[in-house]
A = this chain, B = another copy of it.
Amino acid sequence: MLFTGTHIHKLDRKGRVSVPKRFRAALEREEFAGIYLYQSHKESALEGCSESHMERIAASLDELDMFSDEADDLADTILGSSHMLPYDGEGRIILPAELIEYARIEDQVAFVGRGRTFRLWNPDIFTPLQDASRTRTLNRGATLKLKPMTEPSNGTRPRAPTEEDAS
């Protein structure tokens, strides 16, 4: 299952926000009923993913040289600052104050699908960035080279940086 689309939901005065039904559906096979969030290191946004994806990240970090600066930094920024957020009975999470502040979220939250992961934004910040993104894509004449069809991926393949099928 993929995370797609942009869904804008309200942050209530208790700091709760509904996770879009479509995203919950994409996660319903997960053992943990909830999501993981951590600060994006590049954007004023939050990165979100499933428990199994978080395990994949941890496994990838394991493979980096254990004492490299890069592994240290990634471990700190991702694993160290990640929050495990369970749903309440209505499929909402409580957004920790630290994350609200980091992403400069006010009364609305945009859930933006990115395939295997998603991001949370203040919609007022995201919308202009998305427009800029679209313009750059157009100017760049970017085309996406599609992979050959394979059987439906279940996302369990470790993300080793291989160069296979560079069609």
What B residues does A10 contact at CB under 8 A?
none
Tell me, yes or no, whether A165 is within 8 Å of chain B by CB: yes
A142 touches B73 (CB 8 A): yes
Count residues on chain A whose CB falls below 8 Å from chain B CBs. Answer: 70
Tell me, yes or no, whether A89 is within 8 Å of chain B by CB: no
Proximity bits, A56-77, B CB within 8 Å = 1, else 0: 1111111100010010111111
Residues A79 and B149 in contact in the complex (CB < 8 Å), given A36-B4, A42-B67, A144-B74:
no
B2 touches A138 (CB 8 A): no
Q: Give me the 6 closest cross-chain CB pairs, A-B, nearest first.
A: A58-B115, A143-B165, A148-B161, A76-B133, A73-B133, A161-B167
